[in-house]
């Protein structure tokens, strides 16, 4: 794949899925100087046609048309989760590189089966854990890796959505741990790759329809690394003050913290209060806009240079293993040992 990518001026890329996240990817693909957005595929043909027309691509309601295009170099998969494995394997059969939104699937055994099927293909595959590419989080990670705070002892991750997703989405999401916490579990592994224990608690404190779906609206997860490090993750499906995304790394020689982001850095001072700031960014589309662009840059770089795609398929599988363990722990009240489970 690397030689094919290097031989063309631009990579011909197809987009599978034209929903909310698909439109984010479409805009970034169309704007990237190293990419030609060739196809937009979605069974919702009106949506696919609208996005394709906006960016000068072809549209189709069937991915068969996409995989029949011999000029294609890569696919970006942001269709519904149950379609991911099928599309990954179809891309592998054609030798196409893949950028796939999380999760790979909600069923870990199906994910393991897909991993076996991909072994012989050897295609470049990147998982869409875009938060690794957020400028603030990435810089914090680099500084931890450089030893600025000594030995990392405790990582604290806070992630709260401004409002819960609609009931239909919640019902099909796989639950808070596989849908929401999975991003934070990948971030935990970004800093501490070798997690051995998972303890989680879930609660229903404000949403009847989330409880009715058998899911939690709030969660707290504690992870333990092989060398004794701790990770604490705090999640909520609502936040009255906006999209709350923070990261803190505490070590033997100090602490590093990445705070929330507002549209401006202006602070207001007056008789009613001081240091009043703009609200936080409204949701992930705005908060992680730069992360999505940097993620795509890294994907293109990997294809052009032949360097490994990271995060890769195994990172996606590991995050799901941890999410499953968190769900089990929250249900049973027991700590779940995942030592060795990530290597299966």
Residue 8: pLDDT above 70? no
The dihedral of CA 163, 166, 169, 175: what is its sign? positive
| Cα 19 from Cα 285, distance rounded (Å) | 13
Residue 7: pLDDT above 70? no
Output the pLDDT for position 275.
Answer: 87
Instruction: Give the pair of three-digit tokens for residue 57.
Output: 């691509």
Residue 326: pLDDT above 70? yes
The dihedral of CA 55, 58, 62, 67: what is its sign? negative
Output the pLDDT for position 245.
Answer: 98
What's the pLDDT tens digit per position in 172-185?
999 999 999 999 99
Instruction: Give the pair of three-digit tokens for residue 35.
Output: 């990419």
User: What mean pLDDT, rounded, does the chain reach?
Assistant: 95
Output the pLDDT for position 2.
Answer: 44
Asked which of 1-5, 43-47, 63-67, 264-268 is least confident by mean pLDDT, the reply is 1-5
Output the pLDDT for position 3.
Answer: 39
What's the pLDDT tens digit per position in 125-140?
999 999 999 999 999 9
- As beta bridge partners, residue 261 has none
Asked which of 38-52, 196-210, 264-278 is least confident by mean pLDDT, the reply is 264-278
Taking a C-beta distance cutoff of 8 angstroms, is the pair 97, 5 a contact? Answer: yes
- As beta bridge partners, residue 222 has 199, 232
Residue 269: pLDDT above 60? yes
In order of 199, 282, 287, 305, the CA distances from 104 in angstroms are: 23, 27, 23, 25
Asked which of 5-9, 30-34, 69-73, 248-252 is least confident by mean pLDDT, the reply is 5-9
| Cα 124 from Cα 306, distance rounded (Å) | 9
Kindly state the average pLDDT of the residues 40-67: 98
Output the pLDDT for position 150.
Answer: 98
What's the pLDDT tens digit per position in 190-228?
999 999 999 999 999 999 999 999 999 999 999 999 999
Residue 71: pLDDT above 70? yes
In order of 48, 71, 83, 212, 339, the CA distances from 44 in angstroms are: 6, 24, 14, 29, 42
Output the pLDDT for position 5.
Answer: 43
pLDDT band at 37 (very low <50, low <70, confident <90, very high): very high
Output the pLDDT for position 343.
Answer: 61
The residue among 245, 249, 269 whose CA lies nearest residue 257 is 249
| Cα 149 from Cα 234, distance rounded (Å) | 23
């Amino acid at each position: 794949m690397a030689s094919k990518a290097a031989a063309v001026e631009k990579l011909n890329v197809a987009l599978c899925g034209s929903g909310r996240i698909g439109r984010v990817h479409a805009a970034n693909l169309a704007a990237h100087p190293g990419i030609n957005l060739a196809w937009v595929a979605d069974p919702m043909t009106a949506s696919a046609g609208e996005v394709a027309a906006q960016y000068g691509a072809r549209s189709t309601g069937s991915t068969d048309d996409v995989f029949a295009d011999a000029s294609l170099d890569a696919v970006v998969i942001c269709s519904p989760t149950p379609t991911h494995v099928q599309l990954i394997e179809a891309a592998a059969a054609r030798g196409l590189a893949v950028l796939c939104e999380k999760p790979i699937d909600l069923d870990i055994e199906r994910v393991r089966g897909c991993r076996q099927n991909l072994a012989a293909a050897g295609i470049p595959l990147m998982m869409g854990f875009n938060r690794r590419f957020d400028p603030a989080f990435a810089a914090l990670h680099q500084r931890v890796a450089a030893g600025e705070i000594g030995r990392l002892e405790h990582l604290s991750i806070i992630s709260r959505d401004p409002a819960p997703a609609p009931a239909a989405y919640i019902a099909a999401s796989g639950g808070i741990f596989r849908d929401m916490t999975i991003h934070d579990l990948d971030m935990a592994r970004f800093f501490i790759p070798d997690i051995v224990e998972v303890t989680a608690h879930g609660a229903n404190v404000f949403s009847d329809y989330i409880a009715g779906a058998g899911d939690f609206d709030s969660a707290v997860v504690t992870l333990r690394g092989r060398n004794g490090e701790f990770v604490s993750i705090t999640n909520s499906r609502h936040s009255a003050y906006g999209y709350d995304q923070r990261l803190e790394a505490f070590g033997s020689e100090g602490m590093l913290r990445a705070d929330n982001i507002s549209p401006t850095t202006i602070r207001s001072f007056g008789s009613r209060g001081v240091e009043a700031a703009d609200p936080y960014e409204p949701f992930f589309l705005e908060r992680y806009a730069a992360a999505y662009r940097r993620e795509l840059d890294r994907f293109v770089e990997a294809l052009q240079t032949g360097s490994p795609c990271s995060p890769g398929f195994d990172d996606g599988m590991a995050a799901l293993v941890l999410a499953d363990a968190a769900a089990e722990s929250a249900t049973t009240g027991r700590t779940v040992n995942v030592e060795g489970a990530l290597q299966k």
